[in-house]
Amino acid sequence: MFIVFEGLDGSGQSTQAQLLKDYLEKEKNIPVVLTKEPTKESPIGSLIRQVLKKEILISSAAFQLLFCADRSEHLEKIIKPAIENGQWVISDRYFYSTMAFGSLDSDVDWLIKINENFLKPDITFLLKVSPEICIERIDENRGKREFFEESEKLRKVWQTYEILSKRFPDIKIINGEKNVMEVADDIKKNLLELN
């Protein structure tokens, strides 16, 4: 299976991706590859991180195309080989992030178009957490905010995520404001219903 976690920065998707990996490997004996976008391994991924940290400036269209280039590498080098090898893949962010965060500066239909040929996830868990709580978590855990991490921006990003959830049937919205283990249980329940 190909499983994706999405949500606003600070929504807990990285934590939940790790918890699901641990559960599948330990309880279900399923080999899992946990991966992330933007990737850490590729030169394109490190360029994206520089833009996110406001170290370099590029146009919004170029930025979104960088995410697509990184995703293409990610699919060819990590995701597809793992699936062909019989492993499950969990990705912390995928093309829905490009569409939702990219909607701040670019047309959503264009963002959907440039991502339409990529492999579709079997299920995408979209964690619903208010922008205010996300900002609190970011400030507590990291202290330093990145490009997208402001309440107003996050509110607009969430509106796009909601639009996407109506257009793409693989997206399941999960209440991410419960405690960590309750959120993990809701995710497992949704996954079991799928199988």
3-class DSSP state for residue 79?
A: helix
Q: So what's the pLDDT on residue 71?
A: 98
Fold of domain 2-194: Rossmann fold (3.40.50)
Q: Length of the chain, please?
A: 195
pLDDT-based confidence at residue 152 (cuts at 50, 70, 90): confident
The label of the residue with tokens 């920065």 reads 9
Burial of 84 from C-beta contacts in 10 A (0-12 / 13-18 / 19+): exposed
Angstrom distance (rounded) from CA 64 to CA 132: 26
Locate 91 and state its tokens.
Answer: 């990705």
* Mean pLDDT within 68-77: 97
pLDDT of 69 above 70: yes
Where are the domains positioned within the chain? 2-194
Is pLDDT of 144 > 70?
Answer: no
What's the pLDDT band for 138 if we cut at 50, 70, 90? confident
| Residues 104 and 158 sit within 8 Å (Cβ to Cβ) | no
Please name the amino acid found at residue 3.
I
Tell me the pLDDT tens digit for each residue of 154-177: 899 999 999 999 999 999 999 999
- Over residues 94-127, the pLDDT tens digits come to 999 999 999 999 999 999 999 999 999 999 999 9
